[in-house]
């Protein structure tokens, strides 16, 4: 069985060398959009710390197994690369070259190949050979320091910024851009996707605010980092939370209305000296009702106020249900493919392949890729 023949990337052939979170996420996005992805695993039984093989990041793939430390395994990989549109690897710089399937070798076999490399620090620079994790990449890019409450240590938002937004999604964008450029030039190229670069890119708006003098205070004292009582979260009577984003005057007026407060008696929100006093007034009022009660109130008021949902709750929210934001794959609820396409919609994702039961050999892959 080949990949789904549906979606804007239908017919794009991708070889993915098995790795951890960022590259699999980028490849999941490509698979969601219709690319035919073959994941290359190590042969034999899986032992820690082998990459996870189940769950959303591994959906809609086929899998094969090659020993890339052996000449035979490398030769088989090069056969795949010769017929692929994209090859994705996430080794440290120089490892693929040392094993015999670096970009020069692969592009010599297939000049139209997009050779995508996912790393933390990139292919060059003094840290290129160093280990790291999401928290390290966002620390060095300037994305971590602004996150957290005033007077407290920076707090990483899971591994969303480095691994996924600044990593896997950057990888997918790079691959798509290289495929588009190939239509004009007829030539492939190397895509160097680094999490430190991608997480730095995510701070573009913040740099703009700093340049405009709109972000000058320490962590937790600015408009979008918890410094403003109009852009914060508040505990409800049942220990849950509501999110408030009522920055603009019209939304602020609706917030005050929904809370049942008298705007004429409230402290001036434009005076920073009143921030904590106003925050306490909001906190006291939110604490008087449950999250469900506040949700019902603000469902009728356009105030940029929403319930803070846990990941397990989000799929059941009426808006997410109506849009199909989540889907069920192999009995597991997970995010649905995005974005949406009017003429070439994505297929329903397939469950992740079992690394033992669902393996195919290279000949079977190439037979399906026959031009």
Task: Please list the active-site residues.
Answer: 133, 163
Helix axis angle for 169-185 and 22-32, nearest 10°, is: 60
Quick one: how far is CA 230 from the chain centroid?
Answer: 27
What is the β-pairing status of strands 61-65 and 36-41? parallel
Tokens of 31: 């698979």
* CA angle (83, 33, 2) in 5-degree steps: 45
Closest C-alpha among 115, 295, 100 to residue 193: 115
Closest C-alpha among 341, 8, 58, 60 to residue 176: 8
Count how many Cα atoms sit within 13 Å of the Cα of residue 290 in the half-sphere of its side chain: 4
Closest C-alpha among 204, 195, 196, 144 to residue 167: 195
Question: What is the 8-class DSSP label of residue 359?
Answer: B
Q: Which residue has the tokens 């990989």?
A: 77
Q: Please say whether the beta carbons of 33 and 337 come within 8 A.
A: yes
User: Across the chain, how many H-helices and E-strands are there?
Assistant: 13, 11
Pairwise CA distance, residues 229 & 274, whole Å: 9
Q: What are phi and psi of 86, to 5 degrees?
A: -140, 140
Q: What are phi and psi of 170, to 5 degrees?
A: -60, -40
Whole-angstrom CA distances from 354 to 48, 77, 137 are 16, 20, 32
Tokens of 233: 């979260």
The residues, ordered by sequence, that sit 6+ positions from 50 with a Cβ below 8 Å of its Cβ are 18, 42
Question: What is the 8-class DSSP label of residue 79?
Answer: H
Closest C-alpha among 81, 78, 197 to residue 141: 197
């Amino acid at each position: 069985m080949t990949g789904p023949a549906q979606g804007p990337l239908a017919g794009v052939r991708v070889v993915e060398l098995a790795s951890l979170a960022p590259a699999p996420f980028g490849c999941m996005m490509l698979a969601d959009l219709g690319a035919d992805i073959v994941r290359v695993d190590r042969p034999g039984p899986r032992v820690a710390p082998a990459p996870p093989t189940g769950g959303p990041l591994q959906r809609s793939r086929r899998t094969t197994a090659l020993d890339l430390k052996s000449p035979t395994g490398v030769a088989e990989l090069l056969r795949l690369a010769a017929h692929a549109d994209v090859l994705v690897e996430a080794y440290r710089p120089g490892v693929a070259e040392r094993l015999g399937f670096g970009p020069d070798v692969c592009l010599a076999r297939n000049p139209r190949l997009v050779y995508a490399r996912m790393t933390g620090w990139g292919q060059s620079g003094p840290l290129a050979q160093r280990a790291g994790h999401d928290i390290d990449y966002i620390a060095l890019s300037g994305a971590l320091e602004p996150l957290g409450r005033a007077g407290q240590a920076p707090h990483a938002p899971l591994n969303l910024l480095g691994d996924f937004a600044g990593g896997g999604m950057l990888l997918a964008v790079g691959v798509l851009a290289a495929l588009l450029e190939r239509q004009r030039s007829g030539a492939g190229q190397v895509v160097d996707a680094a999490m430190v670069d991608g997480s730095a890119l995510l701070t573009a708006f913040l740099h703009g605010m700093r340049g405009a003098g709109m972000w000058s205070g320490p962590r937790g004292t600015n408009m979008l980092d918890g410094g403003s009582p109009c852009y914060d979260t508040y505990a409800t009577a049942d220990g849950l939370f509501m999110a408030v984003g009522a920055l603009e005057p019209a939304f602020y007026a609706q917030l005050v209305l929904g809370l049942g407060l008298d705007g004429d008696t409230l402290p001036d929100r434009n005076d920073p000296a009143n921030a904590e006093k106003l925050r306490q007034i909001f906190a006291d009022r939110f604490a008087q009702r449950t999250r469900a009660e506040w949700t019902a109130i603000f469902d009728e008021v356009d105030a940029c106020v929403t319930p803070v949902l846990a990941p397990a709750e989000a799929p059941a929210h009426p808006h997410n249900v109506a849009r199909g934001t989540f889907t069920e794959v192999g009995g597991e609820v997970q995010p649905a493919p995005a974005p949406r396409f009017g003429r070439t919609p994505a297929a329903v994702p397939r469950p992740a392949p079992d690394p033992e039961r669902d393996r195919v050999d290279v000949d079977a892959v190439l037979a399906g890729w026959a031009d």
